[in-house]
Structures are given as C-alpha cells and as structure tokens.
Amino acid sequence: MLSRTWAPVLDVGFDQRVPVHRLLLFGTQHLVTLSAIWVFPVLIGVTLGLGGDDVSHLIQASFLLAGIVTVVQSSRVVRLPIVQGPTAAFFAALLAAGATYGLGAAFGSMVVAGLIFMLLSLPIGRLGVLTHVVRFAAEPLVYGTLCLIIGAQLATLGLPNWFGAEGEPAYGWKLFGIGLATLLVVVACLLFGGDTIVKRAAVLIGMLAGTLLALAFGLWSPPALGGTVLVGPPAWLPFGFDVRWPAVLLMLLAFLESSAEAVGMYALVSRWGGVTLTRTRITRGLFTEYAGTVAGALFGGVGTATYPENAGIVRVSRIGSRYVTMTAGLIAIALAFVPVLATFVAGLPGAVLAAASTVLFGIIALSGVQMMSGVEWDDLNLTVAATAFILALGGQWLPESMVATMPDWVRAVVTTPMMFGAVLLIVLNALINHGLRRVLGR
C-alpha cells in the first residue's frame, strides 16, 4: 500500500453523481482551466516557426489525447477525478528535439520512449523497474517538494501574464486591471459563495467575468474564425515519423518526470477522498498514461500527465465526482473534431486565464506543504528537499553562455524545474534515505 486512509475533505465523493446541468458546468470548468492544451501548441508553433495549419494539428491532437486518457482514467483505471493534459516536461522535450531534429523525430522518439515505459510498467514480480520508481516518487517528501517546485514554476506564468503579451495593443496596466478584476471575482465567489454552485464554479465565473470586461473595454475581441474549418479530424502523422536516440533519451526523462507527477497527484487526490490506493491500481494508471501518450504522439499531441491545476479545482470546489472529469474528457474529444471551437477557446484573453489560474497555482504549492506535514525533518530529509528545491529552481537562471554549451537534452532538463526537480528528488531520496540512512543506522 502506498498511503494510509485519510479523512475526506470533499462534499461530493469520487463515485457520486451530480445533476446533468451541473455536470456540464463543472466539466467545462475543468476543461477551460486546461490552458496548456492550447498554450503549449501555440508556443511550439511560434518557437519553431510553424504555420497555422500545423498549430491547429497540434491543438486538435492534444484535445484528443487529453480527452481519451481522461475518460479512461476516470471511468475504468484509477477511478479518480483527475484530468489529463499536456505537461511542461513533454513541452520542453518537444521544443528541444523539434528544434534540433524536427517535429517528426521529436514525436517519433516520444513513441519509442513511451513504449519503453509501457514495458517497465508491466508487473514482473519484484523485478519490475517501475515498482521501484513508484516507491521513491510517491513518498510525501518527494512529491510534497515537487509540488512546491511546480507551484514556483507555475508562478512565473501567473502574475507576469496579467499584463498580456508584449507587443499586443492592450499590453500593460489596462490588461493587468482586467486580470485583477478576474482574481477578485474568483476570490469573492470562494469566500461568499457559501455551499452553492457559485463557489463550485468560481474559476469559470471569474474567467467569464474577466472576458466580458475585456470585451466591454475594447481590450479583447473574439478571434476571426472565417478561415477555420468547422469540422475535421486530427491528422495522422502530420509531421512524419523519425527516431533519434538523443531525443529518445530526452523523452525518457520527460516520462520520468510525468510519472513522478502522476503518482504524487494520485496520492494527493485520493487522500482528499479518504481512499487508499494499491500499487497495482497506480501502475495501471501509469500504463494508461504511457499508452495514451504513445497513441497521441502519432497525431502530434503533446505528452499527457495528470494536470495539477485540475486537482486544484477539485480541492477548491470540493466536487470529487469522477463523472465530472469524465464529462470534461468527452468535451475535449468533441473539440478535437471541431477546430473552429478550439481556435475560439485558444483566443480567450491571456490575462484572464493567467489571473484565474493564480489561485490554483498557490493551492498546488501549499498542497505540497500539507503533504509534508508528517515528514520528520531531520538533517537527511532537509538535505534531500532543500538541495532539490534550490537546484531545480536555480537552473532557470544559469548563465546563457554556459547553457549554450550544453547538449540540447541536458539544457531542456536543467532549465525546466519540474523535470529537473523530479530527477533530483528521486535520485537524492534513493541515495540518502534508502542508502546513506541505512548505513548510518548500522
């Protein structure tokens, strides 16, 4: 067993159903918060100089991948209210591999790395490699610290983006005011919404209010959709298929980071519902994520992991019904075949999305503190957490002249706190707590 049973903190349990109208509302809230599903494809397109059609392929495939895996996970596998979405680890790996070898090789290498992790997740008695990874990644010290690192990294996407994108006509304090208004609406709904739908849908209400304000003050206009195809399926191998072994190594590290993130998120959410997870159940969940990422890569989808912002929504709304996340997954699948709607959602004001997500980023970080409440903070545990925390965040500010001399895959790892932090925490925890501690004990 990976965790003991905790007292539930949810008003609606994992297996409870909610009325249809609320099901659609809460499911939409989960989906709208899944900002990386369109942000990462757009950033990849801008960085690699892709055309509009290529970016559309990335968005459609990411919706399809996230939707299918979310439905399967919520209904059949881990049976928790989790939402799958593109993770920063795969985003960084795709950028590095795509810039060096092309997106065909990046996605092809993701397929190979995913197949390797699928093999590792097959139970082979006590020799299964993934069993040992789960053992180290699921400990409160490891995942609690990783939540802090994730929250700190996500903070760089929060307040700075309230001003909008530099170069936009509305860039500056006016958009910041829209972001501030959005945050105030979210906080007001949380504080004064009582035990009503206003509190449950606080994030969605805040996004709607912020978007309407931006529209009213002329700071945002709906995206032009005239040239967008109304209905169309995701494209098969839109960038071709190739495999490069340095890119495979980079993707393996991305899978390692997403595995640590997923295992910790399973443990965190199950704790809120007072449920104890077995290793078998978690391993099946990881296998599903790997298989989904492999399949999604064939359509150009950014690799998936359990999305922390959606776990934040579960905690804020106290709605833990997995039927809500199943609904979000079904909506995502539908949007994968309606590019015109995906384009519109991607065109929502960035300042509004950033402001509405700020509360969720803080919840993720402080959930890590909550997880570590039972950790005995002796010198060894302090060394593991403190070293990984500072090095993971510090990698973002390494001298450019030094970063430029690194191989692409090394640069992508050390400059991405979530990925670097996961590697450091698992390695340091294994060496110090499961190695040195035993030696000192003897």
pLDDT at 5: 45
- Taking only the tens place, the pLDDT of each residue in 252-292 is 878 887 887 888 888 888 888 888 888 778 888 889 999 99
CA end-to-end distance (rounded Å), the chain:
27
| Whole-number percent of the chain with pLDDT over 70 | 90
Q: Which residue type does 193 have? A: G
Average pLDDT over residues 99-124: 87
For residue 278, count other CB atoms closer than 10 A to its CB: 11
Secondary structure of the chain in the HEC alphabet? CCCCCCCCCCCECCCCCCCHHHHHHHHHHHHHHCCHHHHHHHHHHHHHCCCHHHHHHHHHHHHHHHHHHHHHHHHCCCCCCCCEEECHHHHHHHHHHHHHHCHHHHHHHHHHHHHHHHHHCCCCHHHCHHHHHHHHHCCHHHHHHHHHHHHHHHHCCCHHHHHCCCCCCCCCHHHHHHHHHHHHHHHHHHHHCCCCHHHHCHHHHHHHHHHHHHHHCCCCCCCCCCCCCCCCCCCCCCCCCCCCHHHHHHHHHHHHHHHHHHHHHHHHHHHHCCCCCCHHHHHHHHHHHHHHHHHHHCCCCCCEEECHHHHHHHHHHCECCHHHHHHHHHHHHHHHCCHHHHHHHHCCCHHHHHHHHHHHHHHHHHHHHHHHHHCCCCHHHHHHHHHHHHHHHHHHHCCHHHHCCCCHHHHHHHCCHHHHHHHHHHHHHHHHHHHHHHHHHC
Going by pLDDT thresholds of 50, 70 and 90, the confidence category of residue 2 is very low
For residue 113, count other CB atoms closer than 10 A to its CB: 27
Q: Which class for 357: exposed (0-12), middle (13-18), buried (19 or more C-beta within 10 A)? A: buried
For residue 227, count other CB atoms closer than 10 A to its CB: 8
Average pLDDT over residues 211-224: 88
Q: Which class for 306: exposed (0-12), middle (13-18), buried (19 or more C-beta within 10 A)? A: buried
Task: Answer yes or no: is 434 within a domain.
Answer: no
Going by pLDDT thresholds of 50, 70 and 90, the confidence category of residue 1 is very low
pLDDT at 144: 83
Task: Answer yes or no: is 287 within a domain.
Answer: yes
The answer to whether residue 26 scores a pLDDT higher than 60 is yes
pLDDT at 345: 67
Average pLDDT over residues 108-120: 92
- pTM over cut 0.95: no
For residue 232, count other CB atoms closer than 10 A to its CB: 15
Average pLDDT over residues 113-141: 72
Average pLDDT over residues 34-62: 78
CA–CA gap between residue 410 and residue 404 (Å, rounded):
10
The answer to whether residue 401 scores a pLDDT higher than 70 is yes
Q: Which class for 281: exposed (0-12), middle (13-18), buried (19 or more C-beta within 10 A)? A: middle
- Taking only the tens place, the pLDDT of each residue in 59-90 is 889 999 999 999 999 888 888 888 888 887 78
pLDDT at 4: 45
Task: Answer yes or no: is 425 within a domain.
Answer: no
Task: Answer yes or no: is 145 within a domain.
Answer: yes
Task: Answer yes or no: is 146 within a domain.
Answer: yes
Q: Give whichever of 31-45, 98-112, 401-415 has the largest mean pLDDT.
A: 98-112
Q: Which residue has the higher pLDDT, 194 or 294?
A: 294
Q: Give whichever of 31-35, 43-47, 203-207 has the largest mean pLDDT.
A: 203-207
Question: 312: domain range?
Answer: 20-369
- Quick one: tokens of 295? 């399949």
Task: Answer yes or no: is 138 within a domain.
Answer: yes
Arithmetic mean of pLDDT over the chain = 83
The answer to whether residue 126 scores a pLDDT higher than 50 is yes
355 in Cβ contact with 162 (< 8 Å): yes
Task: Answer yes or no: is 298 within a domain.
Answer: yes
Region label for 88, one of left (φ > 0), alpha (ψ between -120 and 50) or beta (otherwise): alpha
Number of domains in the chain: 1
201 in Cβ contact with 29 (< 8 Å): yes
pLDDT at 46: 63
Going by pLDDT thresholds of 50, 70 and 90, the confidence category of residue 115 is very high
Task: Answer yes or no: is 398 within a domain.
Answer: no
Going by pLDDT thresholds of 50, 70 and 90, the confidence category of residue 13 is confident
| Whole-number percent of the chain with pLDDT over 90 | 24
407 in Cβ contact with 245 (< 8 Å): no
Going by pLDDT thresholds of 50, 70 and 90, the confidence category of residue 379 is very high
Average pLDDT over residues 104-123: 90
CA–CA gap between residue 303 and residue 98 (Å, rounded):
14
Question: Which residue(s) pair with 306 in the sheet?
Answer: 84
pLDDT at 101: 85
- Taking only the tens place, the pLDDT of each residue in 292-344 is 999 999 999 998 888 777 788 888 888 888 899 999 999 999 989 988 876 77
CA–CA gap between residue 187 and residue 193 (Å, rounded):
9
The answer to whether residue 389 scores a pLDDT higher than 50 is yes
